[in-house]
Structure 1
Amino acid sequence: MAKLTFMVGGLEEEFKAAQELFTCMGANVIYCGQVGTGQAAKLCNNMLLSIGMIGTAETMNLGIRLGLDPKLLAQILNMSSGRCWSSDTYNPVPGVMEGVPSANNYQGGYGTTLMAKDLGLAQNTATNTRTPIPLGSLAHQIYRVMCSRGYANKDFSSVFQFLREEEAQPDGAPKRA
């Protein structure tokens, strides 16, 4: 089951007044500071989540192409330095875990459209603050392309399925459905 985290910005006394309500809905409630800092924390978290999911999907895809059993590869990653939430809690490969969107044709979860939206907000914020985010920018591009190719209503972990469909043919041309 998901554990919601509320990242809250605003006046501290107002946060304290609402904190009990937040704890009824989420497992973690964190005061981030002034107005806007809660949203900033969420954007940063979701940018890292999207980058980690793409990395996990690429890694699992490569391992499968190299002949590794995906459950075995996930087990190895999750006891090694490659362990991350996208591999040990929300694995994007169908059949590796139960109870996650990849086990249900990528239905449910956090939609690709929502991830693309959050990455767009992160991109705009990075541009406004002159902060380089090359991996965040690439993740934004990947999720935007996914939205245009029929993944908009699937969970963002469907990036694994997207990458599988984009595998290069022997002549270097990508597969097209």
Structure 2
Amino acid sequence: LLPGLFSGILMGFSANLFLTMYKSGNFLGSFLKNMLVLMSCCQCCLDAGVGAARAGNLTFMVGGVEQEFDAAKELLTCMGSNVVYCGEVGTGQAAKICNNMLLAISMIGTAEAMNLGIRLGLDPKLLAKILNMSSGRCWSSDTYNPVPGVMEGVPSANNYQGGFGATLMAKDLGLAQISATNTKTPVPLGSQAHQIYRMMCAKGYALKDFSSVFQFLREEETL
């Protein structure tokens, strides 16, 4: 079905440069790589979230024909401030899933540390301040803190509405797991993060921002 579908689309396609922004498993990436050999193709994966999209500050990770990267970059800079060439088709997606796996792990770690500190009697704003001036500092702690009341303008300040959904994070972590299996790469923390986000989705957090892992941990005595 897919070969026939894409063949029909491409037969009537006259543009010189074809940009895709899908994110999927290895099959579709390899398929498009083979289907688009007669035209210039760049696969563009984006990162930075809803706020960055509204501000035009997205980061694009691009894989495809290197000679066409400058043309693709000219278009993508209309939407993003960072456009990075990663290599052949599929490498942009590889960078994206590696980034999101690390993001999930760091968010879970931040949520765990904040939850433990609060239960030990620390004020969450004070703890966040200490973390952010110490070696535990990360994007999840200083820019996207998961604890309600610590920061303004983030999903945790709005009942975890908006942002990047837990179900989307679970999907990306699933793609990372498939890639790790295919390359025989050990990712124990990535695997644990995947299981945690799958459990969150099963317990009603699917549509909440992925930083709601803090709320999930607060409600769990043990995992």
TM surpasses 0.5: yes
TM-score (norm 1): 0.93
Q: State the partner residue of 2:150.
A: 96
Aligned counterpart, 2:87: 33
Q: How does 1:25-174 map to 2 (within 5 A)?
A: 25-168=79-222
SS in structure 1 at match of 2:83: strand
1:83 partner amino acid? R
Task: State the SS of the aligned residue for 2:136.
Answer: coil
CA RMSD of superposed structures (Å): 0.9
Residue deviations 1:115-149 (CA, integer Å, cap 9, x gap): 00000000000000000000000000000000000
CA distance in 1 between partners of 2:221 and 2:161 (Å): 23
Give unmatched runs, 5+ long, in structure 1: 169-173
The structure with the largest alpha-carbon Rg is 2
Question: Across the two proteins, how many residue pairs are aligned to each other?
Answer: 169
Counterpart of 1:171?
Answer: none
1:89 Cα shift? Answer: 0.0
If asked which structure has higher relative contact order (CA below 8 Å, sep 6+), I would say: 1
d(CA) in 2 for partners of 1:34, 1:69: 48
Q: What residue is the counterpart of 1:13 in the other structure?
A: 67
- Identify unmatched segments of 5+ residues in structure 2: 1-50
Shift of 1:167: 2.1
TM-score (norm 2): 0.74
Cα offset, 1:20, TM superposition: 1.1
The percentage of aligned residue pairs carrying the same residue is 83
Greater strand share, 1 or 2? Answer: 2
Instruction: Please list every run of at least 4 consecutive aligned residues from structure 1 whose deviation after the TM superposition is greater than 3 angstroms.
Output: none
Q: Distance in 2 between matches of 1:18 and 1:8?
A: 9
